[in-house]
Structure 1
Amino acid sequence: MKMAILEGHRSGPHAPHYRTLQAMVAFELRRGRVGLRVLPPDQPPSGSRTLLRLHRALKWLELFLGKLGRSGAEEDPSQLCAEAYQAALARYHGWWVRQAAGLAFLALPSRRELYGLVCAEGEKEARAVLLDAVGTISRVYNITQQLYATRGLLELP
């Protein structure tokens, strides 16, 4: 759903203003489309607000993959995922969503299966792939974080 909102903006009547993150934020702030407190119901969903939600989820992914890449074989991936969720996303969710997330973490595959998903030959290679991905995710996250912080948008609802 969130990606569909962003793709709709990129192909919509104001598409030139959605070519970069910086252009989108500047355009939406100028036009009052961000909804610093609440978004008026007659406006389409804000790209800036939508991306902020994805940005927050990116932090969870960064934390989880980092924990998975640095953890020992005895550490449970479900617990690592729950810890990353608590640090990055839980404060933005209501009680029901937090409970559902906790149940979902219990259904995570084993460490071996997760390593297989990154197409690695063994544990050592999987750890290297995960930590490389974490580095890339971190760079993307930090660029977005800086822009949103500079514009005072980190606490959008």
Structure 2
Amino acid sequence: MQDFQLEKVNDYLLACHSRDEKLCLRFYISAYEELNKLFGLLGSLFGFISSDVQSKLEILSTYLADSENATAFSTVSGMLRCEKESGKLVDSKYISGSRTLLRLHRALGFLVDFLERISTLSLSDSLSKVCYLSYRSTLGNYHPQLIRLMVKGAVYTLSSKKDLLDKINKDNKEEEYYNKLLVEVVKNGRKVYQLTDALYTFHNLHDLP
């Protein structure tokens, strides 16, 4: 696995929403591919999350690579509209991009909240408590009790903010550099999250099974 680069996450998130509010799907996927590396840094117990995210990214990437879908699926807005108007969302055999993205969207809410909390920690602080607080207030709302208990146990294996920064800081940058970068990532991540949420609301697709 290549090194996780927070700078790339920020660049991709910014590119995703900077052109218009339709949201570029390719940059959304690119941002998530980079964010998914973060789960690998958090420990083996987060491997099941990483695998699930990767499988969903592959579904979306397949649609983008298909010339029949490439234009409609170039933006999040276009994909939701195309699948809804074509009636594909009621086809149980159809692997829906909208349904797939909805799961990633919910997880993005967790990641943005978690990164924001990390930015406020001192170097010696553990990531465990803030990770669980972020999970409980976001993604945990969509999981059954068994999954919530598994996550609660998994987060207590997390180390400190310093240990995480040591893993991603290959250029010996100061902590302040990453705190400022985290603020930018959170700002752009929240923008993408809010715009995506608004699109699902507009198309009435928040409750896709």
Give 1:26's aligned amino acid: R
2-structure distance, mates of 1:85, 1:34: 28
* Residue 18 (structure 1) aligned to one of 73, 78, 88: 73
Partner of 1:33: 88
Matched, 1:139 2:194: no
Partner of 1:109: 159
- Equivalent pair of 1:67/1:80 in contact (CA under 8 Å): yes
String of CA shifts for 1:4-53, please: whole Å, max 9, x gaps: 11111112333322111111011000112234xxx51x22x110111011
2-structure distance, mates of 1:111, 1:75: 6
* Residue 58 (structure 1) aligned to one of 69, 86, 108: 108
2-structure distance, mates of 1:149, 1:109: 37
- Equivalent pair of 1:118/1:126 in contact (CA under 8 Å): no
The range that moved more, 111-120 or 58-67, is 111-120
Partner of 1:151: 203
Identity level (%): 30
Matched, 1:95 2:149: no
- Equivalent pair of 1:81/1:105 in contact (CA under 8 Å): yes
Give 1:134's aligned amino acid: V
1-structure distance, mates of 2:165, 2:123: 12
String of CA shifts for 1:69-92, please: whole Å, max 9, x gaps: 123456431110000000111121
2-structure distance, mates of 1:92, 1:127: 29
Partner of 2:59: 5
- Equivalent pair of 2:114/2:130 in contact (CA under 8 Å): yes
The range that moved more, 77-86 or 4-13, is 4-13
Give 1:126's aligned amino acid: Y
Q: Could you tell me which runs of 5 or more consecutive residues in structure 1 were left unpaired when the two chains were aligned.
A: none
Q: Equivalent residue of 1:145, what SS?
A: helix
2-structure distance, mates of 1:87, 1:155: 18
How far the C-alpha of 1:109 sits from its partner, in A, is 3.0
Q: Equivalent residue of 1:15, what SS?
A: coil
2-structure distance, mates of 1:108, 1:33: 41
Superposed CA RMSD in Å reads 1.8
- Equivalent pair of 2:123/2:160 in contact (CA under 8 Å): no
How far the C-alpha of 1:130 sits from its partner, in A, is 1.2
- Equivalent pair of 1:62/1:134 in contact (CA under 8 Å): yes
How far the C-alpha of 1:118 sits from its partner, in A, is 4.5
Partner of 2:12: none
2-structure distance, mates of 1:131, 1:11: 33
Give 2:184's aligned amino acid: D
